Amino acid sequence: MSKVNTEKKRYYEPAPQDIDVENFKKVVQSRRSVRKFTDKVIPAEILDDCLDMALLAPNSSNLQPWTFYVVQNPSKKKLLIKACLGQLAAKTAAELIVCVARTDRIDDMAKRNINEFPFPEVPPLVKKYYTYIPLNYKTGYFNALGNFKKVAFKVARTLDKQLPVTAFTPADAVLWASKTTALACENLVLALRAHSFDSCMMEGFDEPLVRKILDLNDQQYPVMVIGAGERAEDGVFFPQYRFDRELFIQKV
């Protein structure tokens, strides 16, 4: 009798080996904080491609806690420039994109991971994971869940249990969403550079005014405003320099 193969099929995705490292370096090294742009428009298809690449950024449990607001309405854009303190990088940018971290739709994203799972059958372990993972980033009313987790984790660690990072306070949840959104922001500016456009990542802005312009709720957090466009000839004000790498890289 022939043996029945009961081994489950695994998914394999081979990594491409033909990536041009020198061109990638060129993109990374030529990415600068551009303070002045030309009048050149970014074609819609290029902007969309860059935004799509931003959405491919790594993120915790595929919860994708971000929204990118491309502000093109003239009156809103004028207000947004004001919110960016009238910076030249905002005034001259062809596009202004507000990158917002979100903690208000963790449940929805968890459900989408089940409903839109890329195979016809969702493994029971995946269903279970997305049933409970939202609790990792929630803290509950009056921080009740956060305080419970803090006590439970403290007890578990006395038993030498290794535990993941979790949100003990609302600030922890905001930090988680902001870190993830910042990764997508980096994808966005590198994609723009690869398309021969440039950017300026602005953290200097009036947050209450930005919230008002975009009608954000109290669980949506503007992380940065990205000005994008074609680099003006005098758009970079100073040469790029970095401190000694020994200050930042430790091999232990």
Tell me the domain boundaries of the chain. 32-230
Among 58-67, 91-100, 153-162, 170-179, where is mean pLDDT lowest?
153-162
The two structure tokens encoding residue 45:
């298809």
Which pair of tokens denotes residue 139?
Answer: 């803290």
| Range 32-230 has CATH code 1.10.10.10 | no
The fraction of the chain above a pLDDT of 70, given in percent, is 97
Is the pLDDT reported for residue 5 higher than 80? no
How crowded is residue 157: how many other Cβ atoms within 10 Å of its Cβ?
11
Mean pLDDT of the chain: 94
pLDDT tens-digit map of 148-182? 999 999 998 888 888 888 999 999 999 999 999 99
Q: Band of the pLDDT at 3, cuts 50, 70, 90? A: low
User: 123-131 long-range CB contacts below 8 Å, 24 or more apart?
Assistant: 129/61, 130/61
Instruction: Output the pLDDT for position 37.
Output: 98
H or E segment at 46? helix 44-54
Q: What pLDDT score does 25 carry?
A: 97
Give mean pLDDT, residues 1-27: 83
How many angstroms separate the CA atoms of 160 and 38, rounded?
58
For position 7, what pLDDT does the model report? 66
Helices (H) and strands (E) in the chain, counts: 10, 4
Contact 99, 181 (CB under 8 A): yes
Whether 4 shows a pLDDT value over 80: the answer reads: no
Per-residue pLDDT at 55 exceeds 60? yes
pLDDT above 90 covers a percentage of the chain that reads 91
pLDDT (0 to 100) of residue 84: 98
Phi, psi of 200 (to 5 degrees): -140, 120
Nearest of 196, 191, 187, 209 to residue 64 by alpha carbon: 187
C-alpha to C-alpha distance for 97 and 53, rounded to whole angstroms: 14
Structure tokens at 166: 């979790």
Answer whether residue 2 shows pLDDT above 70: no
Strand order in the sheet with 66-71: 66-71, 95-102, 220-229, 198-202
Task: Please report the pLDDT score of residue 1 as a whole number.
Answer: 54
The DSSP bridge pattern shows strands 66-71 and 198-202 to be: unpaired
**Of 54-68, 102-116, 157-171, which range is least confident?**
157-171
Residue 6 in this model has a pLDDT that exceeds 70: no
What's 96's DSSP letter? E
Whether 202 and 90 have beta carbons less than 8 Å apart is answered as: yes
pLDDT of the residue at 105: 95
DSSP class of 211: H
Using DSSP's 3-state secondary structure scheme, residue 182 falls into: helix
